[in-house]
Amino acid sequence: MKPSLVLKMGQQLTMTPQLQQAIRLLQLSTLDLQQEIQEALESNPMLERQEDGDDFDNSDPMADGAESATPTPSKEESYQETTPTVDNLEEGEWGERIPNELPVDTAWEDIYQTSASSLPSNDDDEWDFTTRTSSGESLHSHLLWQLNLAPMSDKDRLIAATLIDCINNDGYLEETLEEVTESFDPELDVELDEVEVVLHRIQQFEPAGIGARDLRECLLLQLRQLPAGTPWLSETQRVVGDYLELLGSRDYAQLMRRTKLKEDELRQVIDLIQRLNPRPGSQIESSEPEYVVPDVIVRKHNERWLVELNQEAMPRLRVNPQYAGFVKRADSSADNTFMRNQLQEARWFIKSLQSRNETLMKVATQIVEHQRGFLDYGDEAMKPLVLHDIAEAVGMHESTISRVTTQKFMHTPRGIYELKYFFSSHVSTSEGGECSSTAIRAIIKKLVAAENAKKPLSDSKIAGLLEAQGIQVARRTVAKYRESLGIAPSSERKRLM
C-alpha cells in the first residue's frame, strides 16, 4: 500500500487539565486536601486564604477592566507615606518622640499564649512531657532501654540483645533457645544454659509476661509477679500449668473433676485468668495515632436533619486582588505571562474546590435523606443502599459517587462514620421487602449480647430467630456476618456462670 493522507471525522472524549484537577481533588481525604491547598498557596502567589471578617470578593479577576486596574496601596504603604521615618526626623525630634522609659502594659504570658498553653500549670500533677512530645515507642526499644539499666556482663548483654531481637510484637520469643545458641560465633563459647539464664532475666522486664515461649509460660510469668496474697493464686497457677487445654476447650465439667474445684471456685480462677494479657507486647504502642477530620456535619434542628460542610476543614480561598491587578492584557512579557498563567491556575483551583464541595454536599444530603431511620434509631434501622441509588438521585456517574464516598467522613450524633458505611447490600424478607446487611449485623450482635452464656446461640439458631422476624438468611451468611463482627463461634463463647 502506498502512503496517503486521509481526512477523517470522529468523536473522542478528552479530559481537560481542569477536569483532571477536579477529579483528583474530589477523591482526596480532608487531610490530603489540606496539604494540597497548602502546597497551592505556597506555589501560587495569586492564591490566598479568606480570613474571618474579610470581605470575600468573588468577582472574576480576568474580567474586563480587572487587569488594567491600578492596584490600590496597601495598609503598609499608606502608613509609610504618613509616618515620619528615621531619615526625615531631626536629632532633637527623634529624642522627643521616644521617651527613655516606656510604660509596660502587657505581661509575658499575654504575648506568648500559644507557646505557654502547652506548658504545665502549677497545680497540674498529671501533666506528662513525654505523652505530648514523644512519638510511639516500639517494644524492641522499650526492652533495650531496660537492658541498658540492668547490671550485666558484656557477654550476657550480647545474649540479651540477641534474644530481644527474636521477640515479636506480641511479646513472644519466636526462636528456640537452641537456635539462638547456634547463631553466636563459636569463638564466644556461648552455652545453652547461659542463654536460658539470660532469658529468665529478660522475662523479669516490663511488661509482665514478656519473652515467653508459649501461652502457658506467658500466663505463668504474669501470675508469678502478682502479690503472694492474691486470692486463688495457687489454684490459678495449677489450672494454667496443668489444664490449660481443658480451659481453652471450655470443658468445665472435666476441669472441675480434675482440679477438685467447685463451680464458684472455678469461676474465681477463670476471672483471675481473664485479667491477664495473652499478648503482653501489645501494651507498648508503636504506631502513631490516626486522626479523622469529618467532612460533613449532620445535626437535628426542629425535627429536621440538617447537613452542612465542616468549615474548619474546608478553608476558603480567593484570588489576591492586588496581584491580579498587576496583570496587563496587552503585555506579552515573560513576567506578565507568568502572572496570567498563575491567575488562571488559581481560578481553576478555586473552581475545582467549589465543585468538590457542591458534589460532597449533594451526596451527603441524599445519604441523610435515605438513612433517616439510622440517625433516629440506630444500625437496626439502616436501609439497603447502593452507589447506583445515589448516582441516579444526584444525576452523576457511579464512579463519581465512589470517589466522593471514599475517605470522606460524616459527623453524626451517633458518631463519626465513613460515607461508605451507609452503603450495604440487601436481603429479602418474607413480606417481600428488603433488609440491609448492616441492620442484620446489628440484630445478630444484639442477639449474641442477650444470649445465655451457658448455652450460646449457634449460627443455625440465630438464622432461625432471624427467620422468625421475617429475615431470610442462610446459616453460612450468619457465620459470615458473625465473623465480620469479630464474634467467636458458639463453642468459644460458652462461659461458666
pLDDT tens string 272-291: 988 999 999 888 866 666 77
Q: For 209, left (φ over 0), alpha (ψ -120 to 50), or beta?
A: left
- Burial class for 334, CB neighbours closer than 10 Å (0-12, 13-18, 19+): exposed
Is 151 in a helix, a strand, or coil? coil
- Alpha-carbon distance of 314 to 31, in angstroms, equals 10
Q: CA distances (Å), 98 to each of 79, 88, 93, 102, in order?
A: 18, 15, 9, 8
Q: For 470, left (φ over 0), alpha (ψ -120 to 50), or beta?
A: left
Task: Pull the grid cell for residue 288.
Answer: 502513631
Q: How far is CA 399 from the centre of its chain?
A: 24
Taking only the tens place, the pLDDT of each residue in 339-391 is: 888 898 889 999 989 988 999 999 999 999 999 999 998 888 888 888 999 99
- Alpha-carbon distance of 407 to 400, in angstroms, equals 13
- Alpha-carbon distance of 205 to 198, in angstroms, equals 11
Taking only the tens place, the pLDDT of each residue in 34-57 is: 888 889 889 988 888 877 655 544
Q: Which pLDDT score is estimated for 190?
A: 85
In this prediction the pTM is 0.63
Task: Pull the grid cell for residue 21.
Answer: 484537577
Residue 81, H or E segment: helix 75-82
Could you tell me if 328 and 340 are in contact, meaning their C-beta atoms sit under 8 angstroms apart? no
Average pLDDT, whole number, for the chain?
79
Indicate the pairing of strand 296-301 with strand 409-412.
Answer: parallel
Nearest to 482 by CA among 453, 497, 460: 460
CATH homologous superfamily for 426-493? Homeodomain-like (1.10.10.60)
Is 303 in a helix, a strand, or coil? coil
Task: Pull the grid cell for residue 172.
Answer: 513472644
Is 224 in a helix, a strand, or coil? helix
- SS3 sequence, 242-280? HCHHHHHCCCHHHHHHHHCCCHHHHHHHHHHHHCCCCCH
- Alpha-carbon distance of 7 to 22, in angstroms, equals 34
- Alpha-carbon distance of 277 to 81, in angstroms, equals 73
Confidence at 496, pLDDT banded by 50, 70, 90: low
Is 47 in a helix, a strand, or coil? strand
Average pLDDT over residues 298-324: 87
Domain boundaries, the chain: 18-69+290-423, 137-287, 426-493
Task: Pull the grid cell for residue 67.
Answer: 487587569
Could you tell me if 21 and 348 are in contact, meaning their C-beta atoms sit under 8 angstroms apart? yes
Handedness of CA 248, 253, 259, 264 (dihedral sign): positive
| H runs (alpha helix) in 101-206 | 108-111, 113-116, 129-133, 139-149, 154-165, 177-182, 192-202
- Alpha-carbon distance of 1 to 14, in angstroms, equals 32
Which residues have a Cβ under 8 Å from the Cβ of 293 and sit 6 or more positions away? 30, 31, 310, 313, 409
Taking only the tens place, the pLDDT of each residue in 411-465 is: 999 999 999 999 988 777 766 677 888 888 889 988 988 888 878 888 888 988 8
- Asked if residue 278 has a cis previous peptide bond (ω within 30° of 0), the answer is no
Q: Which pLDDT score is estimated for 413?
A: 92
Residue 39, H or E segment: helix 30-43
Confidence at 128, pLDDT banded by 50, 70, 90: very low
Q: What angle do CA 413, 415, 418 make, to 5 degrees?
A: 120
Nearest to 290 by CA among 407, 402, 405, 379: 407
- Residue count (the chain): 497
